């Protein structure tokens, strides 16, 4: 069975795994590239990488409308419960994970910051690993630079890595090429670029360099575009 991965703009993705709808970092309201309406998008689970507003996004409103379960680190999960009244929340930290109906979800380290929209502490930033019951492994790096422990993440055998390339706030093209070298994914989708002027990138050049300098297949999506694993 195929897995559908749809880019919603910035770092937001919608995954269809079997019958389950999974959102990652659903920043839609205020996202000029947003390819979905937060009042209409389906969700069974919402995975959050860290606390910044362009990743927390519309998590609360979508979760309340759909009844989706939220998966985030301990500080963010407790914030959703105490400040926003969400009850279906799993609070994780790196080194652990949880079995969900579509597969196992784990958090990884990431190198960034993670304050919440109200200024409170959002814990450490994270990447997200999804080991699907379909036998495909997906890594959403969140906001980060390249780091040597990506070698350990890559040892899981990644069918898809989703990496930021915007520079300024995260790694850019050079850093993403180093990350691909460490992770060794079969395919890689770029994210966190061209949303705002500060993260403008030439994605065609990025894809050419991935093709020429790595063994991964670059998959460049327009907002709303879908890739099937």
Q: What is the mean pLDDT of residues 88-103?
A: 95
Q: How confident is the model at residue 95 (pLDDT cuts 50, 70, 90)?
A: confident
Q: What is the pLDDT of residue 118?
A: 95
Are the CB atoms for 68 and 43 separated by under 8 Å? Answer: yes
What angle do helix axes 173-183 and 203-213 make, rounded to 10 degrees?
Answer: 30
Could you please report the per-residue DSSP string of the chain?
--EEEEE-STT-EEEEETTEEEEES---TT-TT--S-TTT---SEEE---SSHHHHTTHHHHHHHH-PEEEEEHHHHHHHHHHH---SEEEE-TT-EEEETTEEEEEEE-SS--B-TTS-B--S-EEEEEEETTS-EEEE--S----TTHHHHHTT--SEEEEE---TTS--HHHHHHHHHHH--SEEEEES-SSSGGG---HHHHHHHHHHHSSSEE----TT-EEE-
What angle do helix axes 74-84 and 59-66 make, rounded to 10 degrees?
Answer: 70
As beta bridge partners, residue 30 has: none
Q: What is the pLDDT of residue 119?
A: 94
Q: What is the pLDDT of residue 149?
A: 97
pLDDT at 115 over 80: yes
Q: What is the mean pLDDT of the chain?
A: 97
Q: What is the pLDDT of residue 201?
A: 97
What's the predicted TM-score (pTM) here?
A: 0.98
pLDDT tens for each residue of 1-59: 689 999 999 999 999 999 999 999 999 999 999 999 999 999 999 999 999 999 999 99
pLDDT at 194 over 90: yes
pLDDT tens for each residue of 171-182: 999 999 999 999
């Amino acid at each position: 069975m195929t897995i559908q991965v749809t880019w919603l703009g910035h770092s937001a993705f919608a995954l269809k795994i079997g019958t389950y709808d999974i959102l990652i970092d659903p920043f839609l309201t205020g996202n000029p590239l947003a390819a979905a309406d937060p009042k209409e998008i389906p969700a069974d689970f919402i995975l959050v990488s860290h606390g910044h507003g362009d990743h927390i996004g519309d998590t609360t409103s979508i979760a309340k409308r759909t009844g989706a379960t939220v998966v985030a680190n301990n500080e963010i999960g407790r914030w959703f419960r105490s400040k926003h009244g969400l009850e279906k929340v799993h609070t994780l930290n790196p080194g652990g994970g949880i079995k969900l109906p579509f597969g196992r979800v784990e958090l990884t380290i990431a190198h960034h910051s993670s304050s919440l929209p109200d200024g409170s502490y959002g814990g450490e930033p994270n990447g997200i690993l999804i080991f699907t019951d379909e036998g495909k492994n997906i890594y959403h790096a969140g906001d980060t630079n390249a780091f040597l422990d990506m070698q350990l993440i890559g040892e899981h055998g990644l069918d898809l890595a989703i990496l930021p390339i915007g520079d300024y706030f995260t790694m850019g093209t050079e850093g993403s090429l180093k990350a691909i070298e460490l992770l060794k994914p079969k395919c890689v989708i770029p994210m966190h670029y061209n949303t705002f002027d500060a993260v403008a990138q030439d994605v065609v050049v990025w894809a050419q360099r991935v093709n020429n300098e790595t063994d991964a297949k670059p998959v460049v999506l327009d907002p709303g575009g879908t890739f099937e694993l």
